[in-house]
Amino acid sequence: MTATFDMTSAATGDSSRDEALPQDEWFAAGRYPKAIFTAKSFRALGGDRYQAVGTLTIRGVTKPLTLPFTLVITGGVAKMNASVGLNRLAFGVGQGEWKTTEVVPATVTVNISLTARRAG
């Protein structure tokens, strides 16, 4: 399974930060418009908890990633939520003056929410 994320769609709750993220110092969305997570395997952890093991590519850098998530299916609607800490520096996110961890920590939390509806 492969999921792609539009690097211009990041939302942090701060409009000036959201406008800066696609720029070259951060995601370089002009050169790397998508982040890609490719899952190689899935594991049930019990209840509605799961784990996807694969790789994440941001800014052309690919690293292994284990993504814990919940999945709840009600009728024809599936809701997936995940939260994972990523070392932004390992992907080259934060260049120049933003490479320091004084303002933005090296490990940032990425939250993912997805709702899918059965076709038909």
Kindly provide the b/e burial profile for residues 45-83, where b requires at least 16 CB atoms within 10 angstroms of the residue's own CB: eeeeebebebebbbbeeeeebebebebeeeeeeeebebe
Q: Give residue limits of the domains in the chain.
A: 2-117
Which CATH number is correct for 2-117, 2.40.128.110, 3.40.50.10420, 3.90.550.10, 3.30.2270.10? 2.40.128.110
What pLDDT was estimated at residue 103?
87
Average pLDDT in the chain: 94
What does the pLDDT average to over 111-116? Answer: 92
Q: What is this structure's pTM? A: 0.87
What pLDDT was estimated at residue 116?
94
CA-CA distance, 11 to 59, in Å (whole number)?
18
**Share above pLDDT 90 across residues of the chain, in percent, rounded to a whole number:** 85
What does the pLDDT average to over 26-32? Answer: 95
**Share above pLDDT 70 across residues of the chain, in percent, rounded to a whole number:** 100
Q: What is the pLDDT of residues 43-83, one digit of tens each?
A: 999 999 999 999 999 999 999 999 999 999 999 999 999 99
Kindly tell me if the per-residue pLDDT of 120 is higher than 90: no
What does the pLDDT average to over 20-42? Answer: 95
Kindly tell me if the per-residue pLDDT of 14 is higher than 90: no
